[in-house]
Amino acid sequence: MTLTQTKTEYEVVIGLEVHAQLKTKTKIFCNCPVDFGAEPNTNVCPVCLGMPGVLPVLNKQVVAYAIKTGLALGCEIVKHCKFDRKQYFYPDLPKNYQISQYDQPICSNGFLDVNGKKIGIQRIHMEEDAGKLVHAGSDRLHGSDYSLVDYNRTGTPLLEIVSLPDIRSIEEARDYAQLLRSILRYLDVCDGNLEEGSMRCDVNVSLRPVGSSILGTRSEIKNVNSFKSLVRAIEAEIERQTEILNSGGKVIQETRLFEENSGKTVSMRSKEEAHDYRYFPEPDLVPLEISKEWINEIKETIPELPHNKKIRYPKDYGLNSDDIKVLIEDRNMAEYYEAVIRLGANPKKAANWLIGPVTAYLKEHKTDIINSCMTPVQLADLLVFIEKGIINDNIAKAEILGEILSNGTNAKEIIEQKGLAQITDEGALKQAVKEVLDQNPEQLKQLKEGKEKVRGFFVGQVMKKTDGKASPNIVNKLIDEFLK
């Protein structure tokens, strides 16, 4: 060992396995409803409870959603595939095996364009979810003293979306996961709710010396249930592996858990290998044949996706990347925005209104754009009224917008009922401007000396006199005339 030890620089390599619960009405192999939050063990039947002598029947919608997702992620869709049994024993798995896909996943070789870099998607396969253990009781020393099991979740359809180990930073991992969630939501196949477990991430992390082309040994971190935890878990794992490698140790391949409280990952079990699961073709289901026609039919249903909007919006609407990010996050918001533009609103103004006051209202009322009462036509009309100078911005925000959003009343009606139209009659405003100037000789002197700041004061005073209805443009023009 030399005394001047040079520190090795490591590069992080990350691959993500994402489990997405599909938004089908019923489970993958039986007719039980898929319903988060139902009374425990009420959405169950002999099939999903794993009773002997029952047979699974494949839900066609699951296959359609898998194909849709595969197409959106640039995957090849296989012509033939099958299901396989993955055997393991755990109390949340009443059959003692999970029906999954092993060597013939329905989709493979896709990619996701994350900030201009292609992250490979190795495979997407269909499988059934397990039940849920609820650790109950309160033994303070040993955790819970008994566990309950809820089988409502067994048989909920899942897609497992496996990336290649192409991710090279924590930010890239987060951006990949966020974009993937957004795409699943655009496709309307999964609600992407990490907290409720409808989208779950397993993160594979390894380190290797910078410049090396050989992959290091990975650990797989489970139990990451928010984007924030994803970032923290990778940070913690990089730190842990760096310490091991720097002290001459070896990282072992294992499954680890991220603990929210300590912010550390802890060992859960040594990594199982595929042969541990004794995979074999599921004998109770026939292999699948997927026709080209069906694939083409599904292709037609794919909307423009967020990463494509991200490229198109600056060109078509001249928006900056921050605004775009907010608008495209949710498909309904993006499509609403586009509708308002098609109706003739100014793209920048419409974006400002949606991102600003409209979003603030929706947040405050815990709702979203399609559940509000305001149609794109109504917002476009409101913006046109402002553009034409019929009402000013402040009045539109304070007196009109909230009413449209909550009652769906047209702006025109509100303006008429409340008498909100801007005063654009110069004769009427002239008097008000003159009065305000006369009443404030000190400020007038300053304005005459070129202190433009006091102009706002005068405009404000005129607004006060006119219940906020004066046209600021005309008031400014009149002030100029008086100063001449």
Q: Give contact residues for ligand ADP (rule: CB under 6 A).
A: 13-17, 162-165, 204-206, 215-216, 218, 220
Helix axes 170-186, 60-72, angle to 10 degrees: 130
Report how far residue 470's alpha carbon sits from residue 48's, in angstroms, rounded to the nearest whole number.
68
30 binds, among ligand ADP, Zn ion, Mg ion, none (CB under 5 to 8 A by kind): Zn ion
Choice between 164 and 290, CB closer to ligand ADP: 164
Choice between 58 and 164, CB closer to ligand ADP: 164
285 binds, among Zn ion, ligand ADP, Mg ion, none (CB under 5 to 8 A by kind): none
In whole angstroms, the minimum distance from the beta carbon of 43 to Zn ion comes to 7
State the Cα torsion 94-97-101-103 to the nearest 10°.
170
Choice between 17 and 191, CB closer to Mg ion: 17
In whole angstroms, the minimum distance from the beta carbon of 122 to ligand ADP comes to 6
Is residue 34 at the binding interface for Zn ion, with CB under 5 A as the rule?
no
Choice between 100 and 372, CB closer to Mg ion: 100
- Token digits of residue 84: 């396989």
Report how far residue 252's alpha carbon sits from residue 126's, in angstroms, rounded to the nearest whole number.
29
Among 12, 16, 28, 48, binds Zn ion (CB under 5 A): 48
In whole angstroms, the minimum distance from the beta carbon of 202 to Mg ion comes to 5
Residue whose CB is nearest to ligand ADP in the complex, by number: 15
**Pick from 150, 149, 48: which is nearest to 99 by CA?**
48
What 336-343 contacts at long range (C-beta under 8 Å, 24+ apart), as own/partner pairs, is 336/369, 336/370, 336/376, 339/376, 340/376, 340/379, 340/380, 340/383, 341/317, 343/376, 343/377, 343/380
- Token digits of residue 392: 């000013």
Task: Name the segment binding Mg ion (CB under 5 A); options: 10-18, 129-137, 319-327, 414-422.
Answer: 10-18
Residue whose CB is nearest to Mg ion in the complex, by number: 17
In whole angstroms, the minimum distance from the beta carbon of 183 to Mg ion comes to 21
In whole angstroms, the minimum distance from the beta carbon of 255 to Mg ion comes to 8
| Residues 239 and 258 sit within 8 Å (Cβ to Cβ) | no
Report how far residue 369's alpha carbon sits from residue 138's, in angstroms, rounded to the nearest whole number.
43
Burial class of residue 346, CB neighbours in 10 A (0-12, 13-18, 19+): middle
3-class secondary-structure state, position 15 = strand
In whole angstroms, the minimum distance from the beta carbon of 242 to ligand ADP comes to 14
Choice between 15 and 306, CB closer to ligand ADP: 15
* E strand map for 331-413: none
In whole angstroms, the minimum distance from the beta carbon of 96 to Zn ion comes to 17
Residues that bind Zn ion (CB under 5 A): 30, 32, 45, 47-48
Residues that bind Mg ion (CB under 5 A): 17
